[in-house]
């Protein structure tokens, strides 16, 4: 029987209660800091946006950022919030100077919400404004004022200080990863040439803007020198690489629009149109954009984003009375790229060679792809290899349709996950044995390989990553030698043919417990020897200790705890300084003396009962070689996000 709908059913929430009750509306997912788009990084971004906006308006050339003991402090040297409005801008919704386009033009924060969300979602929040030798500070806890300080005299330079500690009640066991924070900070300086950001004592600065950004992010060498085009409200850097797929880094007013939007779509269209007109030939869109690596930044007055987290631009126009985003970008690219290619005939020739090479490869692959699709149908993909979910990921829908696919090894592991999963949002793909080592292989051979052919079909990425059916692609293998080896082979496949999967943080490793420690009253699942020792101490004398040797040994009833809301996912992250080609050559190519030295230096044996058994066989070359495949994973899988 349904509850009665009366006057008492109508509830008016205070501003901070509304944010705390529906945090996803304001900062996306909460998360623990493992993923780059977890909420704690959105909180940092909201504060940094305000500081960078001051620089963009010509006030203050540096920003200091420190993160210690889970507390963030951001200090800019801009104009400082007007002292009489410090409380209003930090605790009153829809309040801010950015509604006044004369004071803040072409900035990101236009809704008067961002810093209020940080305040409401923090256990401690401090804002301090300094203007003309006077300072005003206010301290909060979860949006409630703790102390409203009186205005005091100061000798400090003008600017605003914001310090906050995310609330542990909302962000459980969270931690800031320097990898993710550095990526944020570097993007800010690349997009604001001349800005200095000091993060935990390290200086970040860019002289060449998007040119520096592209060179820092490129996973392969460019086939020709980066084309760098710069105007008052638009900047572009582009080249072609040898990787498969397309790589874009798009920005609006300094905001990294990871989901793209109208500006990225317009750039892709403008590129094709300009290339066709320059070479006077109607080349296929795929051939022009294959392997492209590009960074695009535009400045828009009063931008409209499709979500509060501002990851996708929805604006149609550049601003009041200005041209449409599409027409502005078409005109900019047509004029500037066409001029550049005329002035640099060597680059124009290399670009043409790349397009023609892509054309030949596409035509050669057409028949192979057709046969691969037919083979996928014959083996009844959706019945044998893939246990699909009901709701799939829509990259244009900004998190509303997230879904996950687990790539498992063997029937027992896939069976446990299949019985435990959420059938609405979680799918399972079962591998048959160890996959092919794809290092130095062509895409033609990979399409002819049944396992990878079926995997590509399941993910729906044969043609374009935009069609990816699952937000999170999770490698779920046993925590033993064979499982580690399979992880590496899968990571190699994605690095080789779909590097954007890793660039856009779609690939993860599932962490499952190694031990279960329990007595009659308590049960602990432990992911390390340290956690096991703590659990044994908590249980007291003679607890039952179980070592899980494989995923198939974990019962479905237990497994549902490990792939639910407390699921531990370790993101596969590439360090910016890593070269994919060189790294794969070293780790996945033929044996070399250097790699043998690496094996000897990095071979580690567990000290528990399983490790002792493995240690007895450590002298065998094959065992040692396979063990080091696990160690190699630490180089590819940087900054462990969950397991520590």
* pLDDT tens, position by position, 398-435: 444 679 999 998 777 788 899 999 999 999 999 887 88
Q: Tell me what the mean pLDDT of segment 338-363 comes to.
A: 94
pLDDT of residue 179: 86
605-638 per-position pLDDT tens digit? 433 443 444 334 333 334 444 443 444 444 444 3
Rg value, the chain, Cα: 27
Q: Which domains does the chain have, with CATH numbers?
A: 16-204 (3.30.565.10), 210-360 (3.30.230.10), 379-512+549-636 (3.40.50.670), 515-547 (no CATH)
pLDDT of residue 379: 53
Q: Tell me what the mean pLDDT of segment 45-71 comes to.
A: 91
Strands 234-240 and 247-252: unpaired
Q: What are phi and psi of 608, to 5 degrees?
A: -80, -175
585-603 per-position pLDDT tens digit? 667 777 667 777 776 776 6
C-beta of residue 354 within 8 angstroms of C-beta of residue 291: yes
Sheet of strand 255-256, all strands in order from the earlier edge strand to the far edge: 227-230, 234-240, 292-298, 247-252, 255-256
C-beta of residue 409 within 8 angstroms of C-beta of residue 547: no
What are the CB-based long-range contacts (under 8 Å, 24+) for 389-396?
389/421, 389/422, 389/423, 389/424, 389/425, 389/426, 389/427, 390/423, 390/424, 390/425, 391/424, 391/425, 392/469, 392/470, 393/468, 393/469, 393/470, 393/471, 395/259, 395/466, 395/468, 396/259, 396/312
pLDDT of residue 323: 82
pLDDT beyond 90 at 228: yes
pLDDT beyond 80 at 538: yes
C-beta of residue 170 within 8 angstroms of C-beta of residue 121: yes
pLDDT of residue 607: 39
Which sign, positive or negative, has the C-alpha torsion 180, 182, 185, 191? negative
Q: Tell me what the mean pLDDT of segment 183-201 comes to.
A: 92
158-169 per-position pLDDT tens digit? 999 999 999 998
pLDDT beyond 60 at 360: yes
Angle at 94 between CA 93 and CA 100, to 5 degrees: 150
Percent of the chain with pLDDT over 90: 39
The 3-state DSSP composition of the chain as helix, strand, coil percent (nearest 5) reads 40, 20, 40
Confidence band, pLDDT 50/70/90 cuts, at residue 211: very high
pLDDT of residue 384: 64
Report pTM.
0.67
DSSP string, 59-101: --SEEEEEEETTEEEEEE-SS---GGGHHHHHHSTT--GGG-T
Separation of alpha carbons 62 and 194, rounded Å: 9
């Amino acid at each position: 029987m349904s509850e009665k709908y009366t006057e008492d059913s109508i509830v008016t929430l205070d501003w901070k209660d509304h944010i705390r009750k529906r945090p996803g509306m304001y900062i996306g997912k909460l998360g623990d800091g493992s993923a780059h788009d977890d909420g704690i990084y959105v909180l940092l971004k909201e504060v940094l946006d305000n500081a960078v906006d001051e620089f963009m308006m010509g006030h203050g050339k540096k920003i200091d950022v420190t993160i210690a003991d889970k507390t963030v402090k951001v200090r800019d040297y801009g104009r400082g919030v007007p002292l009489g409005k410090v409380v209003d801008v930090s605790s009153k919704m829809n309040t801010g100077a950015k509604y006044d386009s004369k004071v803040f033009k072409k900035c990101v924060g236009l809704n008067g919400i961002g810093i209020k969300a940080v305040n409401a979602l923090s256990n401690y929040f401090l804002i301090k404004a300094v203007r003309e030798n006077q300072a005003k500070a206010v301290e909060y806890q979860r949006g409630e004022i703790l102390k409203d300080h009186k205005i005091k005299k100061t000798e400090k330079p003008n600017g605003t200080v914001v310090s906050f500690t995310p609330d542990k009640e909302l962000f459980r066991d969270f931690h800031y990863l320097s990898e993710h924070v550095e990526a944020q900070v570097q993007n800010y300086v690349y997009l604001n040439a001349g800005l200095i950001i000091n993060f935990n004592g390290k200086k970040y600065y860019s002289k060449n803007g998007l040119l520096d950004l592209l060179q820092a992010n490129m996973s392969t060498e460019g086939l020709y020198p980066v084309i760098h085009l710069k105007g008052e409200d638009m900047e572009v850097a582009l080249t072609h690489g040898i990787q498969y797929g397309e790589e874009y880094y798009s920005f609006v007013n300094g905001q990294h629009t990871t989901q793209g939007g109208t500006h990225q779509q317009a750039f892709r269209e403008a590129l094709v149109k300009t290339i066709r007109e320059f070479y006077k030939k109607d080349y296929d869109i795929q051939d022009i954009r294959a392997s492209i690596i590009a960074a695009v930044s535009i400045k828009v007055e009063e931008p409209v984003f499709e979500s509060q987290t501002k990851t996708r631009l929805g604006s149609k126009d550049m601003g009041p009375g200005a041209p449409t985003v599409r027409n502005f970008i078409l005109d900019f690219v047509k004029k500037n790229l066409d001029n550049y290619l005329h002035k640099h005939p060597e680059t124009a020739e290399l670009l043409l060679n790349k397009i023609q090479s892509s054309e030949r490869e596409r035509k050669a692959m057409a028949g192979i792809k057709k046969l691969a699709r037919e083979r996928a149908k014959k083996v009844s993909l959706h019945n044998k290899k893939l246990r699909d979910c009901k709701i799939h990921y829509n990259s244009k829908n900004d998190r509303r349709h997230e879904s996950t696919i687990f790539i498992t090894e063997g029937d027992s592991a896939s069976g446990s996950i299949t019985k435990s999963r959420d059938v609405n949002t979680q799918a399972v793909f079962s591998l048959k044995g160890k996959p092919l080592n794809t290092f130095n292989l062509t895409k033609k051979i990979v399409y002819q390989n049944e396992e990878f052919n079926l995997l590509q079909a399941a993910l729906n990425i044969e043609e374009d990553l935009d069609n990816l059916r699952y937000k999170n692609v999770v490698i779920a293998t046993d925590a033993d030698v064979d499982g580690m080896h399979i992880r590496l082979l899968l990571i190699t496949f994605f690095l080789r043919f779909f590097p954007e999967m890793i660039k856009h943080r779609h690939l993860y490793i599932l962490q499952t417990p190694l031990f279960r420690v329990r007595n009659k009253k308590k049960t602990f699942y432990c992911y390390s020897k340290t956690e096991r020792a703590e659990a044994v101490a908590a249980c007291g004398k003679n607890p039952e200790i179980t070592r899980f040797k494989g995923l198939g040994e974990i019962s479905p009833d237990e497994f549902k705890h490990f792939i639910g809301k407390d699921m531990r996912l370790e993101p596969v992250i590439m360090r910016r300084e890593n070269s994919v080609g060189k790294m794969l050559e070293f780790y996945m190519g033929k044996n070399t003396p250097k790699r043998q030295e690496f094996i000897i230096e990095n071979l580690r044996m567990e000290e528990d009962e399983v490790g002792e058994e493995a240690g007895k066989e450590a002298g065998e070359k094959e065992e040692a070689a396979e063990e080091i495949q696990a160690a190699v994973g630490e180089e590819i899988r940087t900054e462990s996000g969950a397991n520590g």
